Amino acid sequence: MMILTNLRRRPSRTAFTAAGIAVGVATIVALLSFTQGLSNTAAELTHLGGSDLGVFQANVSDPTTSLLPASLVARLQRKPYVQDATPLLLMVEAVRPQPGAVVFGAQPSGFFARRLVIVDGRRELGAGDILLGDRLAAHMHLAPGGTLTVHGRPFRVAGIYHTGIFFEDSGAVMALASARRLTGRPAEETNIVVNLSAATSAAEATKSIEREFPGTQVISTPQQALRAGANSTLISKAILVIVVIALIVGAIGVTITMALSFIERQSELGLLSTVGWSSGRIAALILGEGIAVSLLGAAFGLLLGVVGGDLLVRVLGVGSYVTPSFTAWALGRGLLVGVAIGVLGGIYPAWRVTRMKPLKALSGT
């Protein structure tokens, strides 16, 4: 009760200190949620169309910028460890109202297109037809018979599909030949999705493909997909830097607040000492105030991180690439940072209390 009373006695100072902590915690929570979201997206990119693995161009900064020759598909299909292979040509930022939507150019006869569950309209993909994922159709308010403009050219919506994969349901599918004409790449694709034979493991196939087809990289796990792009690595490193900065800045803010509180309340603390409070008990009071204001800031920071992370994705329109995923561990780490700030920030003022002379404190000197 004394801790809460002391914090309420100086509401402005408490509020500003808590706000600074809240910003740091919110940034950490948001970045952790984006990292988890990237991992989820990477898992979906790994198994597009229900495939076992994907073959991409090696040494590209982003898998969606990969380019492979069309002749590679037939060569892959001749391998005994490959059950089926189908090419995909990915187009990003092709739908102007929804820049996050990915348009997949796929062979209508390939297993990627056959896997689409049509919930409205028809499956056939002619030269001017396109299929929409149910999420994209809902955002665009489109139904079969409507028109979707891709790279400035209109395509008739033939049907609406659902796969259960956010990455695909927030995008669209057109015939591979149409996508090649649209992008001016008549004999290229972004990647090749592969289903393996029953007796072959993904690890074995990865080694064989990368050895037999130089210049390619195989992605069969989310970790490989994350390593293939630079963005996730940058975010992971940024989290560590921001955590350290938040700890330092937050701890300094709490230290200053508690130190000022100690200076202003020397007489009060000296009185507590003369009536029987030990130095350790008074130090615990000061440390408790630091932890309390940090917990207050952390609570607001958790809320701000969840709301702000989701809002930022909506405003930027990148929901098809990454959706923030708020896990208990991410929220727990944000809370731990808040508690750590309170502990670190309260150590020095608490130590000063243990060195306090009661009579000098009562006199205010």
**What is the tens place of the pLDDT at every residue in 111-123?**
999 999 999 999 9
Written as six digits, the tokens of 264 are 């202003």
Cα separation of 257 and 92, whole Å? 49
Flag whether pLDDT at 243 surpasses 80: no
Overall average pLDDT of the 154-176 stretch: 92
Flag whether pLDDT at 238 surpasses 60: no
Cα separation of 239 and 271, whole Å? 45
CA distance from start to end of the chain: 28
Residue 285 has what pLDDT?
A: 80
Question: 112 near 191, Cβ under 8 Å?
Answer: no
Of 107, 104, 54, which Cα lies nearest the Cα of 82? 54
Band the pLDDT of 248: cuts 50, 70, 90.
confident
Of 61-65, 216-220, 256-260, which one has max mean pLDDT?
216-220
Range of weakest confidence among 124-128, 230-234, 304-308? 230-234
Higher pLDDT, 175 or 271: 175
Angle between helices 11-46 and 328-354 (to 10 degrees): 150
The torsion angles phi and psi of 296, rounded to 5 degrees, stand at -60, -45
Domain coordinates of the chain in residue numbers?
2-41+231-363, 53-219
> In residues, how long is the chain?
365
Within 107-236, strands assigned E span 117-121, 129-133, 147-150, 153-162, 172-175, 188-189, 191-196, 216-219
Percent of the chain at pLDDT exceeding 90: 33
Overall average pLDDT of the 227-241 stretch: 55
Residue 230 has what pLDDT?
A: 45
Of 7, 74, 65, 62, which Cα lies nearest the Cα of 38? 62
Flag whether pLDDT at 192 surpasses 50: yes
Overall average pLDDT of the 263-276 stretch: 68
Flag whether pLDDT at 264 surpasses 70: no
- Measured at the CA of 273, the angle between CA 272 and CA 277, to 5 degrees, comes to 80
Residue 215 has what pLDDT?
A: 92
- The three-state (H, E, C) secondary structure of 57-115, written as one string: ECCCCCHHHCCEECHHHHHHHCCCCEEEEEEEEEEECCCCCCCCCEEEEECCCCHHHHC
Residue 179 has what pLDDT?
A: 94
The torsion angles phi and psi of 256, rounded to 5 degrees, stand at -60, -45
- Number of alpha carbons in the 13 Å side-chain half-sphere of residue 215: 6
Overall average pLDDT of the 14-28 stretch: 80
Beta bridge partners of 124: none
Percent of the chain at pLDDT exceeding 70: 79
Task: Report the predicted TM-score, pTM, of the whole model to 2 decimal places.
Answer: 0.63
Mean pLDDT of the chain: 81
Higher pLDDT, 133 or 350: 133
Overall average pLDDT of the 294-305 stretch: 86
